[in-house]
Amino acid sequence: MITIYTRNEPPCSYCEQAKNLLRQKQVEHKILVVGEDVTKEDMFKAVPNARSFPVILDNSDFVGGLKELKEYLLSKDMQGMTI
């Protein structure tokens, strides 16, 4: 399952695009809002190499941000896999 670490303050347009992309592709995902669902410290424990939002994981594997998510989903589509 895809997990997205996101933020609400300040608003993150890349986070919203990532969430919309996953909805459009009907990919099961979980959204964790830093500062509401998890602390920033907990996010960095889970993903020490996170540098910007969104932070996207597939199970516990680091995918990256929005750009990397698009590439990741495209590679899965081209392989005929479902996530």
Quick one: pLDDT at residue 73?
A: 94
What topology does CATH give the domain 2-78?
Answer: Glutaredoxin (3.40.30)
The span from the CA of 69 to the CA of 83, in Å, is 12
pLDDT value for 76: 79
pLDDT of residue 81: 62
pTM: predicted TM-score of the whole model, two decimal places: 0.88
Q: pLDDT tens, position by position, for the chain (83 residues)?
A: 999 999 999 999 999 999 999 999 999 999 999 999 999 999 999 999 899 999 999 998 999 999 999 999 999 776 666 65
Residues 6+ apart with CB under 8 A from 35: 7, 8, 9
